[in-house]
Structure 1
């Protein structure tokens, strides 16, 4: 909890917001200026090492951004400690499961 508290949380959320904005803008430029998309082009992009690493980094930034925001909301508005802990645990579980799923999907599809 202390890792993302106070000014660290503020900086982490702002940094991830800027990085996610850059990723969205780069993705939009790639979509607008590139060739038409189909399954083979997406597959080729996401199964390259660079594409897979960038995808995982985007999801990590999204998870950190979401964690800081959700944690702040729960800490501000949920008063009972037991409920607060349960909600934070559920949020953390969902974010961690999503990251694990992204890595597993990229690893299994890149191996074929």
Structure 2
């Protein structure tokens, strides 16, 4: 592949990636996501700098500014049980796809 073809390929790839990021964020309502995270008290764990999970001990990730696609993917995995963490599985089990998009849009905007 020549430099010109590679540049075109790279440009199209970046465009498609940016489009998917914008799509996931645009499908969610950040204000609705703020209300949902407040109601579920997500900041009770994810908003405390340096907070560690009790057992097994590991740092609780800060979610503000995280990519929307990652948040949706993680919530879907908790809901399906393919990602294990009992408190998060319980939280995600009651979320609709729209809830996940809204929460992701809010957290990605922080």
TM-score, normalised relative to structure 1: 0.31
Higher RCO by CA contacts (8 Å cutoff, separation 6 or greater): 2
Structure that is richer in helix per residue: 1
